[in-house]
Structure 1
Amino acid sequence: MRYSVLGTTQVHRDDGTPVPLGGARLRALLGVLALRAGRAVPVGALVDEVWAGEPPADATGALQALVGRLRRAIGADAVVSAADGGGYRLAADPDDVDLHRFTRLAGEGAAALADGDPAKAQAVLDAALALWRGPALADLPDAGAESTRADTRRRTAVRDRLAALVALGRAEECLPELASARAGAPLDEPLHALSVRALRAAGRPAEALTAYEEFRTRLADRLGTDPGPELRRLYEELLSPERARDPGPEPRPVPDRGGSRTAHSPPHPGNLRARLTSFVGREDDIGALRADLRGARLVTLLGTGGAGKTRLSQEVGARTAGEYPDGVWLIELAPVDDPRNVPEALLSALGARQTVLRGAGAEELRAAELSSDDPVLRLIEHCGRGRMLLIVDNCEHVVGAAASVVERVLEGCAGVSVLATSREPLGVPGEVVRPVGPLAPGAALRLLGERGAAAVPGFVPGVDGEACAEICRRLDGLPLAIELAAARLRMLTPRQIADRLDDRFRLLTGGARTVLPRQQTLRAVVDWSWDLLDHAERTVLRRLSVFAGGCD
């Protein structure tokens, strides 16, 4: 049997013969089972989704009757009762359902495009998109989140297919479809960058410039931000065609969820390292932080351990690098044990450790020695009149010393701005505090999907969407915890991980070996926070811990 849910719910035998289905409830039941093909769906979940939260008086009996009708329509063996009597399962492989088959093909097409094989990408993506007949899960009374996820994957597949056509030299035929896609996604920066590239490739530079300017204006009006590096590079090439006369192969974009970056972006001063993984979500936070930095010289990101403060700060630094001629500099305070060493940590990160040349004259020698006695003065002398952004990371365990140094630098260097991360405010005059909360459900699921695919090639959250959504929800959208859960996918299925989250401190271990020890396990993250508390704070938390589920 072949099951179709990308449109109205349909069933076809292997020879293509359609199988007649009854009313709306029957199609809804089949849609719910097909969405989780091969897995048992509990009775309660079936009742909730088929009757959209308004079940009949005898819900269990009504469901049993509906299952009986479905078995008569598609075969008694097609719907299997769970061994414990707790639900029903559609006896089908995920690939027998068009939604899951689409997800697999879309992933293969994206991989082919990334590997430089646009012909294969186009063929695979054409096959994937041909499966769509209408809105996904159209017969589910409340398909909301699942339908939205499927539609998002479809838009991505459309964009990848158009990119493949442009790479194949067929830009002209893409333009009408690109214009339609842009109208439906006015803030999709990768799509607009692709459109500008296609217009340029089709010999329409004036229209490409117009498209860029319209998108730039829209971003500024709605988000208060600027286009990303790839669009800016395309704009510069359109203004100076000689720069793009022999550009070599088109740089492959590295997705960062806020506009594709390319390996050919011009370098900026500073010590920010290239990120090895994509940046997921928090586009609103990035826009807000960039606005904060335009109006304040000290902005502090506050959040719990593992909330993603460090990664967010570095992403903001990378995207604002062009606004700081003297660079964006990352100062990591996590390794600093003694608060007295905070100024030296800043000097080291800036490459400003002082070496006094003893051949100088007496006056110069005395001045150098006086300066070298105070590392903060050396820091102020080094930054001087420069225009730079300092990202001071992990201030919480030396917060007093960090606040003192930052205040003196801001007072002595008018062109310096500071973006700090901490678990409590620095308390410096003029400080703007920006809390970093959990990831939104959609972004959390994308993060699990991307990190899961790195751990297990071919992993797609939609294949086990219920378990993946439960993992993200129970981990409170905490990026580090989600990444640790994704690493466990090498050994466990999403459902097994979700079922073991009651013992999450034993489960969520084995983070990247190259990160700080306190970021390698969930317990280490919590231990770091606990160690920062004083005796009275620990006493309060111990006493609160007896109230399971909270207290008034």
Structure 2
Amino acid sequence: MRYSVLGPTLVHAPDGTDVAVGGPRVRALLTALVLRAGRPVPVRELVDEVWYGDEPPADAVAALQALVGRLRRALGRERVVSAEGGYRLDARPEDVDLYRFERLAAEGAAALAVGDAGRAAVLLDEALGLWRGPALADLPGRDADPLVVRVEQRHAQARRDRFAADLALGRAAGVLAPLAALAAEQPLDEPLQALWIRALRDTGRAAEALAAYEEVRTALAERLGTDPGPALRALHADLLAEDRPVGPGDRTGALPARLTSFIGRDDELGDLAAAWGDRRLVTLTGPGGVGKTRLALEAAETYDGPVHLAELASVRDGSTVGAAVLTALGARETQLWQRPPVPDAAPKDPFADLVEHCGTRRMLLVLDNCEHVVGTAAELAQSLLTRCPGVTVLATSREPLGVPGEVV
């Protein structure tokens, strides 16, 4: 036989027909036994669960025996076995929908994690198809049962994973409506909100995706006093980067157009273009007006990947260098929303937001005119190079930065 407790408790005979069990107390007893899936349950424990919230009968043991008799008549005497001072149901975990759901959901999540979205979708559909209503609906103490909390959390995760599989399969348009409804019901569920924002982005609705992020940020700040987590902030930064206009011949929209042709410096340009993979920090030095910036821009065009230009000529206060670079990366907004620091707290890493944004991204960052803030620029470059393996830095300055590994 098979047993269903993801909704009202049901029993399915081997031929697929439903077995009539009886009234609420009998269904409560059956639910308590089904949850143990073949393990014995002491009489006192069964009494507490069947009469949860009510005063048990004066002779609770006899009353429980009467319920066991009714359950045996419904299922067959051999199905409810007397064992070790209590009773057990002759069943395996695979006979119970709750445990099949947990197995299928876990397998689906694992398939999604390794990039097999098609298999994940099949497994998760089977898992979610087992749900017919609130878990353990016929157990009187379900609201206080930690098992209910656990399985409902896994149900919510399985739904998120199923949406993620659709997004990975390029089916964003098909999940917009259900994701919108679910996101509206759970405005503080960050993984769910991230899926909703991704669906908007993947269907070409970038402006709405940015607006949705702002709604989530506001809700978290007003109701929980927190900022969005790293995953949501990274998604927001990606949206901002995608939202910038792309100019002719400019892969990222970060480099300004040149108004004159570039003549000379062929040896230097060729040397830079040939060695991007071997050098992580290159500094072009020389007095003002010799063409450091122009050579850097021409060299940056040869980099095979995203390029960002941070112009530091107007920066005079070293404490604002990190903010200037965040702005150049299109990520300044996340820094502006930081809460005020706690008095007497330990000093914050001045480049923490920048390092978090760059993380595992691959890019060339051009730091132009570093000489006014050379000390801070050197610290920033060293932080990025040691903590963000995909970042390469090309700097222009009237003096070297003095960072280990620098090629001048």
Task: Report the residue type matching 1:94 in the other structure.
Answer: P
Counterpart CA distance in 1 for 2:107 and 2:229 is 27
Cross-structure match for 2:306 = none
Q: CA RMSD in A?
A: 2.8
The one-letter amino acid paired with 1:93 is R
Inter-CA distance 139–187: structure 2 relative to 1 (3 Å threshold): same
Cα 1:171–1:134 change in 2 (3 A) is same
| CA gap 1:207/1:298 in 2 versus in 1, 3 angstroms | closer
- Secondary structure at the counterpart of residue 295 of structure 1: coil
Aligned to 1:42: 42
Alignment partner, residue 321 of structure 1 = 352
Counterparts of residues 18-417 of structure 1 (less than 5 Å): 18-53=18-53, 54-82=55-83, 84=84, 86-144=85-143, 145=145, 146-241=147-242, 294-298=341-345, 321-322=352-353
User: Structure 1's 171 and 123: CA in aligned 2 closer, same or farther, altered over 3 A?
Assistant: same
CA distance in 2, matches of 1:298, 1:323: 20
What secondary structure does 1:172 align onto? helix
Instruction: Indicate the SS of the match to 1:52.
Output: coil
Q: Aligned-pair distance for 1:295?
A: 2.1
Task: Report the AA paired with residue 80 of structure 2.
Answer: V
**Which secondary structure state, in structure 2, belongs to the residue aligned with residue 57 of structure 1?**
coil
Q: Distance in 2 between matches of 1:50 and 1:8?
A: 15
CA distance in 2, matches of 1:122, 1:110: 9
Equivalent residue for 1:509?
none
Instruction: Measure the CA separation in 2 of the matches of 1:297 and 1:193.
Output: 34
Residue of structure 2 equivalent to 1:263:
none
The CA deviation at 1:244 is 11
2:27 alignment partner AA: R
2:343 partner letter: A
Larger Rg over CA atoms: 2
How far off is 1:106 after superposition? 0.5
Q: Work out the CA distance in 1 between the residues paired with 2:127 and 2:98.
A: 9
Any conservation in 2 of the 1:77–1:91 contact (CA below 8 Å)? yes
Relative to 1, partners in 2 of residues 1:112 and 1:131: Cα closer, same or farther, differing over 3 Å? same
CA deviations on 1:373-404 (whole Å, 9 max, x unpaired) are xxxxxxxxx99xx99xxxxxxxxxxxxxxxxx
Secondary structure of the residue aligned to 1:294 is: coil
Report if the CA contact (8 A) 2:206-2:243 is conserved. no
Q: CA deviation at 1:236?
A: 2.2
Question: Contact (CA 8 Å) 2:108, 2:119: kept in 1 or not?
Answer: yes
In 1, Cα distance between equivalents of 2:149 and 2:245: 39
**CA–CA distance in 2 between the matches of 1:44 and 1:157?**
35
TM-score (norm 1): 0.45
> Which string of whole-angstrom CA distances, capped at 9 and with x for unpartnered residues, describes residues 29-67 of structure 1?
000111111111111110001000521110111111111
The superposition leaves residues 232-254 of structure 1 with CA deviations (integer Å, 9 ceiling, x where unpaired) of 2222222231789999xxxxxxx
Q: Secondary structure at the match of 2:67?
A: helix
Letter in 2 for 1:296: P
Residues 14/244 of structure 1: CA separation in 2 closer, same or farther (3 Å cut): farther
Q: Tell me the CA shift for residue 26 of structure 1.
A: 0.4
Q: 1:124 and 1:223 mapped to 2: Cα distance?
A: 35
The answer (yes or no) to whether the contact 1:118–1:167 under 8 Å persists in 2 is yes
CA contact (8 A) 2:120 2:165 kept: yes
Change (3 A) 1:244 1:95: farther
Equivalent residues of 2:4, 2:96 under 8 A apart: yes
AA partner of residue 241 (structure 2): S
Which amino acid in structure 1 is aligned with residue 70 of structure 2? R
Local SS of the residue matching 1:56:
coil
Conserved? CA contact 1:109–1:121, under 8 Å? yes
**2:157 counterpart SS class:** helix
Q: How many residues align?
A: 266
Give the aligned residue type for 2:4.
Answer: S
SS at match of 2:56: coil
- CA deviation map 1:325-347 (0-9, x unaligned): 9xxxxxxxxxxxxxxxxxxxxxx
- The DSSP-based 3-state class of the residue aligned with 1:296 is coil
Aligned residue number for residue 450 of structure 1: none
Assess if the C-alpha contact under 8 Å between 1:237 and 1:243 holds in 2. Answer: no
User: What is the DSSP-based 3-state SS (H/G/I as helix, E as strand, rest coil) of the residue aligned with 2:177?
Assistant: helix
Separation in 1, partners of 2:245, 2:88: 57
Q: CA deviation at 1:323?
A: 8.4
* Amino acid paired to 2:69: G
Deviation string for 1:509-544 (max 9, x for gaps)? xxxxxxxxxxxxxxxxxxxxxxxxxxxxxxxxxxxx
| Paired amino acid for 1:103 | E
Q: Give secondary structure in 2 for the equivalent of 1:55.
A: coil
CA distance in 2, matches of 1:67, 1:88: 9
The corresponding residue for 2:370 is: none
Identity %: 60
Query: Is the 2:183–2:193 Cα contact (8 Å) retained in structure 1?
Result: yes
**Counterpart residue number, 2:291:** none
For the residue of structure 2 that corresponds to 1:240, the secondary structure is helix
Aligned residue type for 2:193: H
TM-aligned CA deviation for residue 149 of structure 1: 2.2
Question: Structure 1 residue runs of 4+, over 3 Å off?
Answer: 242-247
Contact 1:40 1:87 in 2 (8 A): yes
Unaligned runs of 5+ in 1: 248-289, 300-316, 326-381, 388-552
Structure 2 regions of 5+ residues with no counterpart?
Answer: 253-337, 357-374, 381-408
- Give the Å deviation of 1:297: 2.2
Using the alignment, how far apart are the partners of 1:25 and 1:244 within structure 2?
66
Residue 295 to residue 242, structure 1, CA distance change in 2 (3 Å): closer
Q: 1:324 to 1:168 in 2, by over 3 A?
A: closer
> 1:296 deviation in Å?
1.9
Structure 2 counterpart of 1:125, which letter? L
Once residues 234 and 154 of structure 2 are traced to their aligned partners in structure 1, the CA distance between those partners, rounded to angstroms, is 27
- Say if 2:220 and 2:227, in contact at 8 Å, map to a contact too: yes
Mapping of residues 502-513 of structure 1, within 5 Å: none
Alpha-carbon distance change, 201 to 324 in structure 1, aligned in 2, over 3 angstroms = closer
- Report the Cα distance in structure 2 between the residues aligned to 1:205 and 1:61, rounded to whole angstroms: 66
User: 1:488-519 deviations in whole A, cap 9, x for unaligned?
Assistant: xxxxxxxxxxxxxxxxxxxxxxxxxxxxxxxx
